[in-house]
Amino acid sequence: MEDTNHIIINYYDEIAESYDISRFDNTYGQYVDYQERRVLDNLNISPENSLDLPCGTGRFLNYADYGCDASKNMVKIAASHWNGKNLTCADARNLPYEDSSFDTVITMHLLMHLDDETIGQIMKEVHRVLRSGGRWIVDLLSDKRRKWTNTKHSWHCHKSMSIAGFNHFVGDYFQMNSVSGIMLFPVHRIPSALRMPLRRIDYRLAQTSLLKEYSSYLIYELCKR
């Protein structure tokens, strides 16, 4: 199969300078960031032996002392935001870490860009660098939401799975401990002034078992088998 991942890495390399402002300096980005942090805060991640993969510009490096990203420009920006973190530019399919190096690997906003083969390669690398019983905290677009809203596909939002489908995909390597929903409301349709008050209600509803899978995406807490 043709390797399209380098197109994605080049894209982020080119937009690295404007990434933080374009994605998070607005009410949409802040809405998303708020909900993701509530989930991550609940997962009690201790930064010492944790890897943020891909770390991008370092948005989640408060949860991890190690960061890795295939875009050198994204890593450069992460390094300008954080002192004393161990940051590396490398491909998630071929990580420069010893076996069993980490207690936790956090993978946010990556799998949605990729095909099954690449996701499988990354899953095996994450499994290798995690210690026994370590956790992979990873997000993926929800298949049910996509079918419900009939969202169009591009490389940016390429991959979605159901909870059952993802459980099956990772099942030989990981056990699913918990699943959290992110963004049940169609935030782009909510007026800017209402977004901040509504993000809390959205977060609560997105955690209910009936509605969870209709969230835009899901954060999975997986445990290494």
Ligand X SMILES: C[S@@+](CC[C@H](N)C(=O)[O-])C[C@H]1O[C@@H](n2cnc3c(N)ncnc32)[C@H](O)[C@@H]1O
Residue from 31, 40, 50, 59 binding ligand X (CB under 6 A): 59
Measured from the CB of residue 101, what is the shortest distance to ligand X in angstroms? 16
d(CA 124, CA 134): 13
Binding mask 158-197 for ligand X (x = CB under 6 A): ----------------------------------------
Residue from 50, 56, 126, 146 binding ligand X (CB under 6 A): 56
Find the part of the chain contacting ligand X (CB under 6 A) among 7-15, 143-151, 176-184, 215-223: 7-15
Q: Quick check: 103 binds ligand X (CB under 6 A)?
A: no
Residue from 74, 77, 87, 219 binding ligand X (CB under 6 A): 74
Measured from the CB of residue 198, what is the shortest distance to ligand X in angstroms? 22
Q: Quick check: 92 binds ligand X (CB under 6 A)?
A: yes
Amino acid at 187: V
Q: Quick check: 97 binds ligand X (CB under 6 A)?
A: no
Find the part of the chain contacting ligand X (CB under 6 A) among 90-98, 159-167, 175-183, 191-199: 90-98
Please give the residue ranges that form the binding site for ligand X (CB under 6 A). 5, 8-9, 12, 54, 56, 59, 69-71, 74, 91-93, 108-110
